């Protein structure tokens, strides 16, 4: 079969999108109606070649390009009966780019959008670089420049979070060899505030040359800041620009404290008879506590004097308050309780009882600024009770009298006692103050002794 007949058979089989259907429309009318338009799909290289031959039934769709690889054109040239002139020549790369730009509308089509999207994705991928902050990058760079050792940088530099030696190494390699990461890191470090940059530079590690210069100062000397300032001015090319006399002095003191100065000799550890290093327990057993001197801490005497003064003040306050404790409050346990020799009378309520131990007590309600002998708030709600509701007095004759001093009246055995009046209290008298009821109990034995003593000395009643 020759090539034109094969192409015509392929077109009759409706294999290509440009061919017309080969079945009869009249026969298909009974089945269904469908469009006779060809379905547009993507063409492959062999289809493009056959379309370029200009055969009947093969038409180019809108926007299709005549692009052909060199390998396929050479194969077509070997086919008999087909000349090379019938094949469209392959366009150069520059021409293809120009044609594609024209088809896509000058770079504003699909290819342009894909390139811009790819650039945006790469930019977003470089924005989030992990836990590394610009201050961490700056501290890493300064530390490596000063020590040339990542392990020393890992031990000596305080980053924003914990990094391992492997993370420091990978970050350092990324800053050196990854152009995209280094570009973003440098831009971020340039945007840092000058004060923040200065604080990172002040914490830069000391190089070996700097510590060697500090080691020239003897450990048994007492240098001043002027000495370090002179050393800094004499060696400006060795010390880091952010070094000051104060920082050099502080680092020299650290070297002296940890026995790192060149003139400091390291003392050998003590050993026992078996030529083994003495442990702490062995050294502790050799110490005699009686031979140890008793060293007093600075300021311990002053603290002891202050503590003693505070304790004496508390004792004095307690002694002064004893004289004011004229009433002792006890909880009601039920039943009659024998009165002691110091209690003159008892004002017993439902919850508590007040032991009267002086000849005169005040009854009322205690507040923040006012204290009272008998605080009725311990018995119950006393919002309507005056701060000084009444006063109970013991006369020399052994009789108790209550005087009303509040705005509301007091009821004694059911009889009201108005403000400014007084009434005699007997044994088992019932006193009602603003809804709170009490029973007044008299210590008869103690009162009888008081009456007899008053008769002997002829004290007027």
Q: In sequence order, what E strands does 156-282 have?
A: none
Task: Judge whether 46 lies within some domain.
Answer: yes
Contact call for residues 11 and 58 (beta carbons, < 8 A)? yes
pLDDT at 166 over 90: yes
Coil, strand, or helix at residue 416? strand
**Across the chain, what does the average pLDDT equal?**
75
Domain ends where: 183, 205, 227? 205
User: What's the CA gap between 67 and 95, in Å, rounded?
Assistant: 11
User: Which domain, by its residues, includes 452?
Assistant: 327-456
User: Is the per-residue pLDDT at 11 higher than 50?
Assistant: no
Asked if pLDDT for residue 153 goes beyond 90, the answer is yes
Long-range Cβ contacts of 363-372 (<8 Å, 24+ apart): 363/388, 363/389, 363/390, 363/391, 363/392, 363/433, 364/388, 364/389, 364/390, 364/406, 365/389
Task: Kindly report the CATH number assigned to the domain that includes residue 434.
Answer: 2.60.200.20
Same domain? 452 vs 341: yes
176 within domain boundaries: yes
pLDDT band at 69 (very low <50, low <70, confident <90, very high): very low
Both tokens of residue 201? 């530079």
Give residue 249's pLDDT.
93
Tally of domains within the chain: 3
Q: Is the pTM of this model over 0.75?
A: no
9 has pLDDT over 70? no
Do 335 and 452 sit in the same domain of this protein?
Answer: yes
Of 179, 205, 231, which closes a domain? 205
Give me Rg for the CA atoms of the chain.
55
DSSP letter at 277 equals B
More reliable by pLDDT, 250 or 300: 250
| pLDDT for 63 | 46
For the cut 90, the answer to whether the pLDDT of residue 157 exceeds it is yes
Q: Which residue has the tokens 């061919």?
A: 19
Residue 403: phi and psi, rounded to 5, are -110, 135
What digits encode the pLDDT tens for the residues 391-426? 999 988 888 999 999 888 999 999 999 998 999 999
Question: Which of the listed residues 177, 205, 233 is the one where a domain comes to its end?
Answer: 205
Determine what percent of the chain is predicted with pLDDT higher than 90: 36
406 and 354 in a single domain? The answer is: yes
On whether both 355 and 414 belong to a single domain, the answer is: yes
Assigned domain for 159 exists? yes
Residue 336 lies in a domain: yes
Find the mean pLDDT for residues 176-182.
93
Q: Are residues 362 and 441 in the same domain?
A: yes
For the cut 60, the answer to whether the pLDDT of residue 24 exceeds it is no
| 167 closest CA partner among 124, 196, 129 | 129
Regarding whether 433 and 373 lie in a shared domain, the answer is yes
Same domain, yes or no: 81 and 139? no
Same domain as 446, residue 374: yes
Average pLDDT in the 123-148 region? 79
- Asked if the structure places residue 450 within a domain, the reply is yes
85 and 135 part of one domain: no
> Do 84 and 134 reside in the same domain of the chain?
no
For residue 44, tell me if it sits in a domain: yes
Q: Is residue 316 part of a domain?
A: no
Regarding whether 160 and 61 lie in a shared domain, the answer is no
The answer as to whether 166 is a domain residue is yes
Q: Quote the pLDDT of residue 115.
A: 57
């Amino acid at each position: 079969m020759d090539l034109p007949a094969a192409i015509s058979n392929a077109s009759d089989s409706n294999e290509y999108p440009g061919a017309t259907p080969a079945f009869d429309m009249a026969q298909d009318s009974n089945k269904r109606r469908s469009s006779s338009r060809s379905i547009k799909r993507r063409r492959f290289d062999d289809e493009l070649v056959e379309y370029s031959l200009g055969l009947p039934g093969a038409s180019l769709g809108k926007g299709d390009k005549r692009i052909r690889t060199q390998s396929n054109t050479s194969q077509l040239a070997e086919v008999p009966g087909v000349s090379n002139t019938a094949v469209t020549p392959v366009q150069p790369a520059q021409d293809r780019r120009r044609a594609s730009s024209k088809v896509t509308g000058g770079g504003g089509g699909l290819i342009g959008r894909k390139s811009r999207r790819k650039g945006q994705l790469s930019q977003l991928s470089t924005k989030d670089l992990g836990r590394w902050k610009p201050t961490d990058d700056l501290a890493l760079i300064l530390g490596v420049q000063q020590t040339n050792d990542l392990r020393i940088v890992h031990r000596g530099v305080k980053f924003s979070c914990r990094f391992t030696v492997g993370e420091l190494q990978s970050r350092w390699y990324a800053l050196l060899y990854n152009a995209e990461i280094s570009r973003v890191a440098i831009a971020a470090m340039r945007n840092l505030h000058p004060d923040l940059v200065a604080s990172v530079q002040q914490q830069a590690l000391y190089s070996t040359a700097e510590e060697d210069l500090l080691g020239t100062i003897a450990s048994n000397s007492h240098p001043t800041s002027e000495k370090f300032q002179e050393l800094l001015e004499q060696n400006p090319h060795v010390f880091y620009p952010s070094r000051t006399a104060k920082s050099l002095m502080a680092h020299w003191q650290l070297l002296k404290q940890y026995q790192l100065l060149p003139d400091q000799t390291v003392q050998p550890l003590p050993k026992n008879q078996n030529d083994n290093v003495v442990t702490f327990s062995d050294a502790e057993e050799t110490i005699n506590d009686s031979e140890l001197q008793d060293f007093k801490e600075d300021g311990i005497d002053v603290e002891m004097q202050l503590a003693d003064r505070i304790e004496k003040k508390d004792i004095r306050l307690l002694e002064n308050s004893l004289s004011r404790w004229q009433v002792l409050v006890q909880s009601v346990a039920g039943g009659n309780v024998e009165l002691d020799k110091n209690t003159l009378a008892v004002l017993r309520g439902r919850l508590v009882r007040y032991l009267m131990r002086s000849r005169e007590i005040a009854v009322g309600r205690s507040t923040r600024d006012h204290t009272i002998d008998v605080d009725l708030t311990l018995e119950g709600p006393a919002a309507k009770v005056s701060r000084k509701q009444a006063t109970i007095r013991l006369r020399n004759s052994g009789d108790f009298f209550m005087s009303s001093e509040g705005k509301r009246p007091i009821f004694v055995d059911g009889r009201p006692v108005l403000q400014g009046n007084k009434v005699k209290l007997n044994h088992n008298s019932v006193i009602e103050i603003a809804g709170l009821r009490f029973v007044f109990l008299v210590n008869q034995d103690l009162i009888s002794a008081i009456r007899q003593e008053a008769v002997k000395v002829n004290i007027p009643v």
